[in-house]
Structure 1
Amino acid sequence: MPGTDDSLLFARADDALRAVGRYAARFVGFLDEREQAAVLRHLSAKHADASFLLWGGYADAERRMLGVFPQEEVPDGAAFPITAVQIIWKGAELNHRDFLGALLSLGLKREKVGDLVVRSNDCVAFLENAVAAFVRSNLSRVGRIGVSCEPYEGDVRREAHFAEIGGTVASERLDCVVAALTGCSRTQAEDGITAGRVALDFRTVTDRACRVPPGASLSIRGCGRFVVDELGPPTRKGRLRFAARKYV
């Protein structure tokens, strides 16, 4: 987002690097995807020799902790202070927002809560170890629905759902790609970009002429999140074919 100040996040990462001992790793609480991208850029630029890992408790996690490890130690997800808690209910439809609201209403900070994987009759919540027992003991309702909590040790897979988008664009410029993905005019796309409503690979970009590479992630405020899988080759008329997916 425009004006986002990551200095506190970078300071926490730097503190973890300074505090990491010869035998003990240090961890920074759950980060969203934008924060992960920012801290990776920071570590790559300032601490290229650091030994670190981002991990959220399972392979497809979106929210992940930063773990900083001693140089002699291979980073390992099993070392992270993450506990999975299964929240079980019956007979009502609950969603991610319901569970997040219930957890935060217990007084938890957002950085203590990782992914919430909602399934048909349960939700697997990935939590920092320090709060997991508290949640199991105190979370008895989500909204008006009674729930029970148990430790969870099974596998978790997040099923992403996409809508396929395809067509042609005039060029790889950000304004061209945004207009094609959203169906808006080029002028509207330019306005959204300069207003700071577009993030390319989790970083706000206000340069409408910025190049969009294949594989890029685009978040467009008010329109959703997209992945640009292919961009090119050109058609006979010189336009670029593109294939993309929108998270739904």
Structure 2
Amino acid sequence: MDLYQHFRKEEYPFIDQVLSWRDHVTNRYESKVIDFLHPREQRIFDTIIGNDEDLQLKFFGGWEQAERKRAVLAPFYDEVNTDSFEVVLLQATFPQKFVSIEHPDVLGSFLSAGIKRKKIGDIVIYEDTIQILVAEDITTYLIANVTSIKKAGVLFERVPLTKRLPSQDKWQERTTTCASLRLDVLIKEIYQMSRQQALNLIKKGYVKVNFQTIDQQAFLLEDEDLISIRGKGRTRIKEIQGRTKKDKIRITFEKLL
């Protein structure tokens, strides 16, 4: 059976990468640490490795409900623990009285410093404190080069994982039915707008699925896909439950409040 037929064409390069990682671990009998993956990539990775009894695949993102996670692919006999993921929790504070800092501000500062997105995990902001999980190998560079966010001076420092703040993300679960799993149809149902409005957002490049801009209204969504629309927030497809008696597709989704 052709492995690729179960996935989207644009996901083929990632599938090739997963197969390469699998060969590396199988042939060299050594663990492989993978940079941060978004939920769809995690799902693909887990699907491909499947029930291979010679390998073990573990994910870790710092927080229980972390979105982005690092992976370790290892021989079945290796011990995999938190240290295996080679991550560091960084923390900084900012003058909350004078400046408001949100997730995009933090991420933007990191990317502007030349840090690749795949080296950065989830970001948690609580009151005047920022925490972010990062790959260990960029920690020294990050601390030296990210010294301001939104014109506020910051100093990142390492803190133990036991000191991580509770995630402030709140997701509300809902269920709806739709005629198809097309992107324009689901946006219409989830965000309660007309299909033309949904189409306009897609054409303007305001819609991303799994962090990639999608300009095709007929793009089909699947379990674990994350939809983000500029100015309207984020939604993830939790489960596609099948068809109703009226031949509608029932889905469960979660919307970030």
The answer, yes or no, to whether TM exceeds 0.5 is: yes
SS in 1 for 2:50: helix
Partner of 2:84: 79
Alignment length (residue pairs): 236
Partner of 2:73: 68
Q: For residue 81 of structure 2, what is the amino acid of its counterpart? A: D
* Structure 2: distance between partners of 1:247 and 1:113: 20
After superposition, the Cα gap between the structure-2 partners of 1:220 and 1:48, relative to the gap in structure 1 and judged at 3 Å, is farther
Q: C-alpha displacement at 1:96, in angstroms?
A: 0.9
Q: C-alpha displacement at 1:157, in angstroms?
A: 2.5
Q: For residue 34 of structure 2, what is the amino acid of its counterpart? A: V
SS in 2 for 1:157: coil
Q: For residue 166 of structure 2, what is the amino acid of its counterpart? A: R
Q: Does 1:246 align with 2:244?
A: no
Q: For residue 62 of structure 2, what is the amino acid of its counterpart? A: G
Q: Does 1:181 align with 2:190?
A: yes
CA contact 2:72–2:85 (8 Å) conserved in 1: yes
Q: C-alpha displacement at 1:35, in angstroms?
A: 2.0
Q: CA RMSD in A?
A: 4.3
Partner of 2:4: none
After superposition, the Cα gap between the structure-2 partners of 1:246 and 1:191, relative to the gap in structure 1 and judged at 3 Å, is same
Match of 2:166 among 152, 157, 170: 157
Q: Does 1:17 align with 2:22?
A: yes
SS in 2 for 1:52: strand
TM-score (norm 2): 0.69
* Structure 2: distance between partners of 1:185 and 1:244: 19
CA contact 1:88–1:148 (8 Å) conserved in 2: yes
* Structure 2: distance between partners of 1:243 and 1:12: 30
Partner of 1:123: 130
After superposition, the Cα gap between the structure-2 partners of 1:243 and 1:12, relative to the gap in structure 1 and judged at 3 Å, is closer
Q: Where does 1:37-56 land on structure 2 (aligned, <5 Å)?
A: 37-44=43-50, 49-56=54-61
* Structure 2: distance between partners of 1:139 and 1:191: 37
Alignment identity in percent?
A: 19
Q: Does 1:139 align with 2:158?
A: no
Partner of 1:219: 227
After superposition, the Cα gap between the structure-2 partners of 1:94 and 1:218, relative to the gap in structure 1 and judged at 3 Å, is closer
Q: For residue 132 of structure 2, what is the amino acid of its counterpart? A: A
Match of 1:95 among 102, 114, 119: 102
* Structure 2: distance between partners of 1:239 and 1:113: 39
* Structure 1: distance between partners of 2:250 and 2:22: 45
* Structure 1: distance between partners of 2:252 and 2:36: 32
* Structure 1: distance between partners of 2:168 and 2:35: 24
SS in 2 for 1:135: helix
Match of 1:33 among 14, 22, 39: 39
Q: C-alpha displacement at 1:119, in angstroms?
A: 1.7
* Structure 2: distance between partners of 1:146 and 1:180: 42
After superposition, the Cα gap between the structure-2 partners of 1:143 and 1:181, relative to the gap in structure 1 and judged at 3 Å, is closer
Q: For residue 35 of structure 2, what is the amino acid of its counterpart? A: G
* Structure 2: distance between partners of 1:26 and 1:240: 39
Q: C-alpha displacement at 1:127, in angstroms?
A: 0.8
* Structure 1: distance between partners of 2:209 and 2:108: 26
TM-score (norm 1): 0.71
